[in-house]
Amino acid sequence: MAQEPSINVFSVLILIGAVQGFLLAGALLFMRRGNRLANLYLAALFLAMSVLLIDGFFHVTNYDGPYRYLLGLSWPVNFLPGPFLYFYVRELSSPSRRVFPRIQLLHFLPMTASALIISYYFIAYGHAPEWAVSCCTVIEGTQFNIRDIALIPVAIQKITYWTLSLLLVMAYSARIKQSFSSIDKINLSWLRTLIFLFYALVFIFIFFIFFSAKLGIQREIVPLLYLSCAMITSVMAFKGLLHPEILLQIEIANRAELMRTGQNSDLDAPFPTPDILQNAIGMLQKEKYQKSYLAPERAAEIARKLLQLMDREKLYLRPELTLSELADKLSVSANDLSQVINREMKKSFFDFINEYRVQEAKKLLSSPKYNHLSVLGIALDAGFNSKSAFYNAFNKYIGTTPSVFKKQCEFAEHDKALNVQGRA
């Protein structure tokens, strides 16, 4: 027996999420500042998710009865969030700018195939297929609903695109470490968190497919699924739209990458190539350096001058020090300096500078003269621009936290004083 239509708190939150998505999409479409193409991709993502939330609103409230087969028209939209998120991340994280390449249309093949099938059913039978609308029709001889099986390719497609998007964020994180000594404001950690939220959404999908029917909690899991979509929409709005300064910093980071390499990054392929996947785990793009190979003698000379400059002027104490600024000090190109740090010293620019900062912090932490400073004060004096960056770097290079290291130094100093008193 069909349940009576009803409005509850879950359905209201889902509807609010859908309306918010439509409003944000409209705002992005008319936005003139920032990366226009990235804004268009994000607007398309908001629209797709809002359509799915509207579909969810009707399912949760049981108002889908009269419009049951009409709602099947939204089924192809399930295949759109993955590509649009991937396009958005790629456009945001890539130093180069490009027009929409025709080959990129291949990403929409699953959606197109689904739309053609849905259209055929409407033309031939006057309604959408059962698998596009039914949440309660059980396949004979199984415990699965007919819609469960149809959701499997949707889940696989989403996992694929979330993974590709995550790889692009990882590649970007590796690149900015070649040009910046502080990356807190430009590391796209919020976007990585967002992708993990999308992964969580897929896992809810998978749970819905394989376990909800067996546990008899289909009606309970559906609101959670759509509420998760609404929450992700809110997170993206907060970071991608309401904090435009984040996107400005990313633009600056991308320009620095172009200056460092002297050429555009190669991310125009419809799917990441093996080289790009290698870059995603931090491997150097050796082919970039082959075009401007630095002779060993010249590399050694730059390395010597670099070390002398760092010891003499302590430039690492400047929190916002960049590769290009350091290159200007040495009167060399950013490309050449990057080669020296990467090849001769086997480090990224980020690691090279932060090792100096950690060593400076060790001196301050171990000196009684600086006992009046807090850990944050020590971090700022050593060149770090945040406490979290300081803790991460210190733990990476020293193997413990600054607080523990400071206590160890205090104990050592106390033991030393006791030994002196004992000998006296």
Mean pLDDT confidence for 402-415: 80
Class for the domain spanning 290-423:
mainly alpha
Mean pLDDT confidence for 291-306: 83
Position 324 pLDDT exceeds 60: yes
Residue 322 pairs in a beta bridge with 180
Position 147 pLDDT exceeds 80: no
pLDDT band at 275, cuts 50/70/90?
Answer: very low
249-268 tens-digit pLDDT = 666 666 666 666 665 444 34
Q: Compare 354 and 413 and report the one with higher pLDDT.
A: 354
Within 8 A by CB and 6+ apart from 403, the residues are 375
* DSSP secondary structure letters along 226-267: HHHHHHHHHHHHHHHTS-HHHHHHHHHHHHHHHHHHSS----
Residues 222/13, Cβ–Cβ less than 8 Å: no
Q: Compare 404 and 216 and report the one with higher pLDDT.
A: 404
pLDDT value at residue 65: 59
pLDDT value at residue 308: 94
Position 12 pLDDT exceeds 70: yes
Numbers of helices and strands, H then E, in the chain = 19, 0
pLDDT value at residue 284: 38
**H-only helix segments in 6-100:** 9-29, 36-61, 81-93
Position 137 pLDDT exceeds 80: no
In the chain, CATH 1.10.10.60 covers 290-423
pLDDT value at residue 185: 76
pLDDT value at residue 251: 64
Mean pLDDT confidence for 388-394: 92
d(CA 169, CA 92): 9
Q: Compare 197 and 284 and report the one with higher pLDDT.
A: 197
Position 101 pLDDT exceeds 50: yes
d(CA 226, CA 204): 10
Position 32 pLDDT exceeds 60: yes
- Share above pLDDT 70 across residues of the chain, in percent, rounded to a whole number: 71
pLDDT value at residue 349: 93
pLDDT value at residue 204: 79
State the chain's mean pLDDT as an integer. Answer: 78
pLDDT value at residue 109: 93
Residues 184/386, Cβ–Cβ less than 8 Å: yes
195-210 tens-digit pLDDT = 888 888 888 777 776 7
112-134 tens-digit pLDDT = 998 898 888 888 877 777 666 66
Residues 27/242, Cβ–Cβ less than 8 Å: no
Of 71-80, 132-141, 303-312, the poorest mean pLDDT is in 132-141
Fold classification of 9-259 (topology level): Rhopdopsin 7-helix transmembrane proteins (1.20.1070)
In the chain, CATH 1.20.1070.10 covers 9-259
Q: Compare 82 and 72 and report the one with higher pLDDT.
A: 82
Position 181 pLDDT exceeds 80: yes
